[in-house]
Structure 1
Amino acid sequence: MRERGVLSTFWKNHHFDMMRYSDTCPVATQASEPLVNYMDVSKTRVRVSRQLLATTLTDLLNYFSSPGQAEYAGQISIGTPPQNFTVIFDTGSSNLWVPSSLCTSHACEIHNRYLSTKSTSYQADGRSFSIQYGTGSLTGILGIDKVTVQGISVSQQKFGESVSEPGSTFVDANFDGILGLGYPSIAVGGAPPVFDNMMAQGLVALPIFSVYLNSIKVNGVVKFCRDGCQAIVDTGTSLLTGPSGDIKVIQNLLSAQSLDEGVDAVECGNIPLLPDITFQINGVDFTMTPSAYIQMETLNGEMQLCTSGFQAMDIPPPAGPLWILGDVFIAQFYAVFDRGNNRVGLAKVLP
């Protein structure tokens, strides 16, 4: 796939979506104050600043530079002295993990690895953990150390030290690990999320990532969710996913053709003729034009591969059926995550 020039597109379409079927362990703690997530979108970079209780800003960069693509990654450090890592800030999961120096998987060897013996603030937890994503998995042990995000240091933070990352899922990733921003109830191993600990220590509040869809329109006509449906906003999911039956209808409307790599391709010359797709949330329309939901990639410096930003994912009850508004959707709008009031706000981005 790398030789054919479609590996980047395949990675986007087979991203390890974070609304998962992993083991969860509920925690009793609850958030009580809001975190505001300000998102400003440009064609080649996404810059996100999080309003802390202090005036510190955390910038998250887009590692996929294609228009409309976003992989919200930033720098953190773990330990004393600090060991630096690039992590995905993911609203659809709750655990922090980075590769361990004990890991011999190829994915670990080509990324930054945490060395516990070099940190004077490290404490062993010793329990094992396992996370199974939609694509890819990892296993490891839990540790405890100081975690710093943009100058905000969290003490006694439990995190995962990955010791096995089989397969190729994480090999081509432009990040070392993942920092989950979700609720503690979905944290594997009962490890309190980083921002829960920030809140508990008086440093920061937490975001929320759920939203209710009134309907989904194609060229102004309601096609899906006539009676409403559930959805989540997830920065850890690259595409926009929904029930397979509904997504099949959308792909047919786009005249998309499935490639052997699982990518749904469309004719690049037909993009101006494709319909606008509108998500109505609490009575407000959020419209995506074809240029927003179609991904274009240059092959061999000339040919373009154009693919649909929609992907089928059937999530069983009780969590599903569910739509996941991933980065294809989020990158078009200004988002405010309010954990304290259990809501998320979306607005159109002004030019």
Structure 2
Amino acid sequence: MKWLLLLSLVALSECIFKIPLKKMKSWRDNLRERGLLKDFLEKSPMNLTAKYFPQKSMNATLQESLVNYLDIEYHGTIGIGTPPQEFKVVFDTGSANFWVPSVLCYSPACHYHPRFDPQQSSSFKATQQTFSIAYGTGSMTGVLAYDTVKIGDIEDTNQIFGLSQTESNTFLAFTTFDGILGMAYPEISEAGATPVFDNLWNQRLISKNVFAFYLSSNEKNGSVLMFGGIDSSYYSGSISWIPLSSKGYWQITMTSITMNGTVVACDGGCQAIVDSGTSLIIGPYNEIDSIQAAIGAIQNANGEMEVNCSSISDLPPITFNINGEEFPVPTKGYIKQKSSSCTSGFSVTDLNLWILGDVFMRQYFTIFDRENDRVGLATPAK
């Protein structure tokens, strides 16, 4: 209807001028003769696409640099409020809520991090809605509010986020990041809060409903999160697309996990989520015990699963069979060596679910495609 109305108005404007002055050319003819019509129509306020979806926004692909902290976590810096208050956040595909520490929080963990102060932001909007989240290694409670969130050059206005009121000390007190920015589906968002990525897409701040991770290895720089597009310079070869088995988490179906062609876990198939907010590869107890035994990992005094460093060269890759394709993780990928100590990159969960964390994602350029509900994996560029 809008386009029909627009075309009618254009036709009417030409008729108004042509009837009394038949020798006068229309503005469209004059612009066409000068070769300016195309440029005018693209930039004119009468062009609905230019008006509501500015060219800069619709072509925008944001690249957010991530800091690799000891191959344990990857975080980026964002701003909240007017003027922006900066926070380091983990972009977590294993959750959907966005929150940061706040001045409302008096847990000891909050005092180790910067705290958001609503009184210092002219764009802050409070609510009375509370929420709570329990992660695998910690928990928090808080209250929801709205403000402008700045990621790179993009300003995400009216974004709902959480201000922490309590944080568990055992985990969150000692992290190098301040908060968590969830990038899973809104179906698992606590209190129905709209995730940041959904808000970016709804406001047409990105051109494609997709984001992707390139995670560096061995504590090197260069890790990147891409919003709204894919930079082909970060991968080589083709992309393997894996359909989601369930929306909420980025959940997929695995066929098996093998070593030297022998099944060591996930025999007969299993479910897994691709999770940028988890450091290791995590699975059910019996399954992980089978893998730890196969690589000779034994629990040390610190509770870590330790491997004899001299045996690493004899260990084969561990292959994850997904959607008819093989995705191997090399020995140096699943065993972390620090001086004379070598530890396994696998750990256990009481869930009947595998979590493919950073140990897996470091091996592949990983694409999260919301438009088609699928995950893409490609060989990272060297």
For residues 135 and 152 of structure 1, the distance between their equivalents in structure 2, rounded to whole angstroms, comes to 31
Cα shift at 1:74: 0.8
1:54 equivalenced with 2:59 (yes/no): yes
Cα shift at 1:291: 0.8
1:287 equivalenced with 2:323 (yes/no): no
2:230 alignment partner in structure 1: none
- Could you tell me whether the CA contact under 8 Å between 1:62 and 1:70 is conserved in 2? no
- Match of 1:73, SS state, is strand
1:18 alignment partner in structure 2: none
2:149 corresponds to which letter in structure 1?
V
- Match of 1:237, SS state, is coil
For residues 167 and 83 of structure 2, the distance between their equivalents in structure 1, rounded to whole angstroms, comes to 26
1:331 corresponds to which letter in structure 2?
R
Structure 1 residue runs of 5 or longer lacking an equivalent are 1-51, 299-303, 316-320
**CA 1:72 to 1:209, structure 2 compared with 1: closer, same or farther past 3 Å?**
farther
For residues 53 and 251 of structure 1, the distance between their equivalents in structure 2, rounded to whole angstroms, comes to 48
2:163 corresponds to which letter in structure 1?
E
1:314 alignment partner in structure 2: 350
1:60 corresponds to which letter in structure 2?
S
2:380 alignment partner in structure 1: 349
2:187 alignment partner in structure 1: 185
1:172 alignment partner in structure 2: 174
Cα offsets for 1:239-298 (capped at 9, x unmatched): 001111110011111211112432111111111122321011111111112111001224
2:87 alignment partner in structure 1: 85
For residues 350 and 82 of structure 1, the distance between their equivalents in structure 2, rounded to whole angstroms, comes to 34
Cα shift at 1:197: 1.0
- Could you tell me whether the CA contact under 8 Å between 1:56 and 1:150 is conserved in 2? no
- Could you tell me whether the CA contact under 8 Å between 1:61 and 1:71 is conserved in 2? no
**Residues 120-131 of structure 1: matches in 2 within 5 Å?**
120-131=122-133
- Could you tell me whether the CA contact under 8 Å between 1:196 and 1:206 is conserved in 2? no
Cα shift at 1:206: 4.7
1:234 equivalenced with 2:275 (yes/no): yes
- Could you tell me whether the CA contact under 8 Å between 2:64 and 2:151 is conserved in 1? no
1:335 alignment partner in structure 2: 366
Deviates more, 1:163-172 or 1:284-293: 163-172
1:63 equivalenced with 2:68 (yes/no): yes
- Match of 1:140, SS state, is strand
The RMSD of aligned alpha carbons is: 1.7
For residues 65 and 188 of structure 2, the distance between their equivalents in structure 1, rounded to whole angstroms, comes to 23
**CA 1:70 to 1:56, structure 2 compared with 1: closer, same or farther past 3 Å?**
farther
Cα shift at 1:210: 2.6
Cα shift at 1:125: 0.7
**CA 1:53 to 1:250, structure 2 compared with 1: closer, same or farther past 3 Å?**
farther
1:252 equivalenced with 2:254 (yes/no): no
Cα offsets for 1:26-77 (capped at 9, x unmatched): xxxxxxxxxxxxxxxxxxxxxxxxxx84334322323323xxx252311111
For residues 350 and 155 of structure 1, the distance between their equivalents in structure 2, rounded to whole angstroms, comes to 35
1:157 alignment partner in structure 2: 159
Cα shift at 1:222: 2.5
Structure 2 residue runs of 5 or longer lacking an equivalent are 1-56, 212-248
- Could you tell me whether the CA contact under 8 Å between 1:214 and 1:282 is conserved in 2? yes
- Could you tell me whether the CA contact under 8 Å between 1:80 and 1:121 is conserved in 2? yes
- Could you tell me whether the CA contact under 8 Å between 2:93 and 2:184 is conserved in 1? yes
For residues 211 and 261 of structure 1, the distance between their equivalents in structure 2, rounded to whole angstroms, comes to 33
- Could you tell me whether the CA contact under 8 Å between 2:210 and 2:367 is conserved in 1? no
Aligned residue pair count: 287
For residues 255 and 137 of structure 2, the distance between their equivalents in structure 1, rounded to whole angstroms, comes to 30
**Identical amino acids, percent of aligned pairs:** 47
2:309 alignment partner in structure 1: 268
1:329 corresponds to which letter in structure 2?
F
- Match of 2:169, SS state, is coil
- Could you tell me whether the CA contact under 8 Å between 1:70 and 1:331 is conserved in 2? no
Superposition TM-score, scaled by structure 2 size: 0.72
- Match of 2:287, SS state, is helix
For residues 350 and 70 of structure 1, the distance between their equivalents in structure 2, rounded to whole angstroms, comes to 21
- Could you tell me whether the CA contact under 8 Å between 2:128 and 2:143 is conserved in 1? yes
Query: Which of 1 and 2 has greater Rg?
Result: 2
**CA 1:74 to 1:314, structure 2 compared with 1: closer, same or farther past 3 Å?**
same
Cα shift at 1:134: 1.3
**CA 1:344 to 1:313, structure 2 compared with 1: closer, same or farther past 3 Å?**
same
Q: Larger relative CO (CA 8 A, sep 6+): 1 or 2?
A: 1
For residues 206 and 95 of structure 1, the distance between their equivalents in structure 2, rounded to whole angstroms, comes to 18
- Could you tell me whether the CA contact under 8 Å between 2:282 and 2:347 is conserved in 1? yes
1:326 equivalenced with 2:367 (yes/no): no
